[in-house]
Every structure is written in C-alpha cells, then in structure tokens.
C-alpha cells in the first residue's frame, strides 16, 4: 500500500474548515504552497480574510459555519468541483469526566465535531464526486482512541479528562470508517488524523515545545494527497504511523 504523496493532484482544489487559525490555517498554507487552490473555511469573514491574505497564493475565503445549515448550503453552492475536503473545525467545550459534564457541553461539542462534519461532508459530496481523486481527511485526536484511553499503558488515561471532546472524536473516527466503506467504490480515500498535542487556542494547556502545528498539518497534507493505491478508512498519527482505534 502506498501512502506517499500524489503529485498529479496538485493543481486541484481543497477546502479546509476552520482554517482561519491553528492547525487548519497551516494545512491550508501547505496545500496552497503545494499548488492547490484552497478554500479557507472560516465562520467569521474578517478572520478568514486575514488568513487568506497571510497564506496568499491560491487561498480563497469561504465563509462557513459548520453548525449552521444555511451557511453550509451557501458555501457548497459556491464550489463546483472539489478534490480534497479537510474537516478540521473543532471545539472543546467543558473539560470534565462524563459524570461531571453537563449534557449541554456534550451537545455543543458534538454539534461541531460530529454533526458539523456530517453536514459539511454531505453538502460537499456532489462537488467531491466530480473529482478524479476525491480525498477526505477528518482531523480527529489521539485522545479519541479507546485503545489509548484504557489499560495500564494508556497514553491518554480517561481520568479527569474531557469526556465530551474525547467521545466526539471517537464518534468522528467511527464516521470515518462508515464514509470510507460507503465511498470506496467511487475512488474516495477517507482517513482520520491524530495531529498530536499542539499549542493552539483550543489546547491552551499545550506548550509551544509540544510541537509545531505545521508538523501536524504536514500529516494532514500527506493524507490529502494520497495516491490511488493509498489507504482508506484508517486512523493515522501525524508522523504517518498507524493510530489505534
Ligand atoms: P483552534 O482553536 O486553533 O482552531 C479551531 C478552528 O475551528 C478555528 O478556526 C475555529 O474558528 C474553527 N471552528 C470552531 N467552530 C467552528 C464552526 N462552528 N464553524 C467553522 N469553524 C469553526 O484549534 P486547533 O487548530 O488546535 O484545532 C484544529 C483541529 O485539531 C480540531 O478538530 C481539534 O479537535 C484537533 N486537534 C487539536 C489538537 C491540539 O493539540 N491542538 C490535538 C488533537 C486534535 P474560530 O476562530 O471562529 O473560533
């Protein structure tokens, strides 16, 4: 199986949701640097415009709030053909364990991290189907791995940590598998990425020394540019190694 980049698709088109800052902006920048036309998804037009100016090259603003059906539909109407969709927009609402967290934290988190991905993916499927090599990359989290959550060797033990966020990423991983199976016959590659701990607004507890968001973005770009014999339905760490479900 080949998971090296596919240079043929570099004149294509990509959409990155939540690309006005953080890891998403880095993904958009690297895809633009690779020669693609990149729609910088941003729920706020001004913040998006600033990111587009910073990225330059093939970057274009696409105002898109993944939790707002009208915004999703309006954005999808603006994109005729799409080669790459990166579902990156994400939130972390509430930090407690399941018994500590209120249901509103779960609803708010799932609204973006799960239902937002469903809405955006479904709305852009017609545009993706017009591509010769459609790719979907879901930005998940290693903390959504059930294997890494339990047992004596757990990398991210569940004790005291964000149940809403982590279970939303476990659901996103499951969705990745469902989409990969449903779309496999149409040439799609659908994969999830564990980007690693990165100092961003979402992850205020991370230190800059924990790793550059650009390094995580490179992992997403690799999955976005997969060749036809690349993997689908997988969960991959930012460095290319497999992540356990
Ligand atoms: P940031 O908070 O820096 O960026 C999140 C982005 O998502 C922002 O652009 C934000 O927009 C956008 N967003 C949030 N809600 C919506 C919405 N309803 N519609 C559209 N855009 C929205 O966080 P990161 O860059 O760290 O996160 C990117 C992804 O990486 C997330 O899915 C996150 O879960 C994942 N991740 C991050 C890790 C880390 O250590 N940083 C580790 C594991 C996973 P706005 O500026 O308007 O708020």
pTM summary value? 0.96
For ligand 1, whether the C-beta of 48 sits within 6 Å is no
pLDDT per residue as tens digits for the range 18-35: 999 999 999 999 999 999
The pick from 17, 19, 20, 23 for probing ligand 1's pocket by mutation, whose C-beta has the most ligand atoms within 8 angstroms, reads 23
Residue 67: band (very low, low, confident or very high) from pLDDT cuts 50, 70, 90: very high
Q: Are 137 and 198 in contact (CB under 8 A)?
A: no
Residue 9 has pLDDT above 50, yes or no: no
pLDDT per residue as tens digits for the range 190-239: 999 999 999 899 987 777 667 889 999 999 999 999 999 999 999 999 99
Please tell me the predicted confidence (pLDDT) of residue 95.
Answer: 80
The tokens 């600033």 sit on which residue?
A: 50
Determine which residue's CA is closest to atom 3 belonging to ligand 1. 22
pLDDT per residue as tens digits for the range 164-178: 999 999 999 999 999
Average pLDDT across the chain, whole number: 93
SS (H, E, C) the chain: CCCCCCHHHHHCEEEECCCCCHHHHHHHHHHHHCCCEEEEEECCHHHHHHHHHHHCCCEEEEECCCCCHHHHHHHHHCCCCCCEEEECCCCCCCCCCCCCCCHHHHHHHHHHHHHHHHHHHHHHHHHHHCCCCCEEEEECCHHHCCCCCCCCCCCCCCCCCCHHHHHHHHHHHHHHHHHHHHHHHHCCEEEEEECCCCCCCCCCCCCHHHCCHHHHHHHHHHHHCCCCCCCCCCEEECCCCECCC
Cα(3)–Cα(175) distance, integer angstroms: 21
> How many CB atoms are closer than 10 A to CB 73?
11
Atom of ligand 1 lying closest to residue 196 CA: 42
Determine which residue's CA is closest to atom 9 belonging to ligand 1. 18
Ligand 1 centroid–CA 88 distance in Å is 6
Domain assignments of the chain as residue spans, ordered by start = 7-237
Residue 4 has pLDDT above 90, yes or no: no
Cα(120)–Cα(4) distance, integer angstroms: 27
Residue 44 has pLDDT above 50, yes or no: yes
Ligand 1 centroid–CA 185 distance in Å is 31
- Report the CATH number of the 7-237 domain: 3.40.50.720
Active site residues: 141, 169
pLDDT per residue as tens digits for the range 146-164: 999 888 788 888 776 799 9
């Amino acid at each position: 199986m080949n998971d090296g980049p596919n240079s043929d698709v570099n004149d294509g088109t990509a959409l990155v949701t939540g690309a006005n800052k953080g890891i998403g902006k880095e993904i958009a920048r690297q895809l633009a640097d690779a020669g693609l036309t990149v729609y910088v998804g941003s729920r706020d037009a001004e913040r998006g415009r600033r990111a587009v100016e910073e990225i330059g090259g093939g970057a274009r603003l696409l105002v898109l709030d993944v939790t707002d059906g009208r915004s999703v539909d309006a954005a999808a109407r603006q994109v005729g053909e799409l080669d790459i969709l990166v579902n990156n927009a994400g939130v972390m609402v509430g930090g407690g364990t399941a018994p500590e967290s209120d249901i509103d934290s779960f609803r708010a988190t799932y609204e973006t991290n799960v239902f937002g991905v469903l809405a955006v993916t479904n709305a852009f499927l017609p545009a993706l189907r017009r591509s010769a090599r459609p790719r979907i990359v879901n930005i998940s989290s290693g903390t959504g791995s059930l294997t890494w959550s339990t047992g004596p060797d757990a990398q991210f033990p569940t004790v005291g940590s964000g149940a809403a966020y982590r279970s939303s990423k476990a659901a996103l991983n499951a969705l990745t598998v469902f989409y990969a199976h449903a779309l496999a016959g149409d040439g799609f590659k659908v994969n999830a990425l564990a980007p690693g701990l990165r100092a961003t607004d979402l992850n205020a507890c991370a230190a800059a020394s924990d790793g550059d968001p650009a390094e995580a973005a490179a992992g997403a770009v690799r999955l976005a540019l997969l060749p036809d014999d690349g993997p689908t339905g997988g969960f991959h760490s930012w460095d290319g190694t497999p992540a356990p479900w």
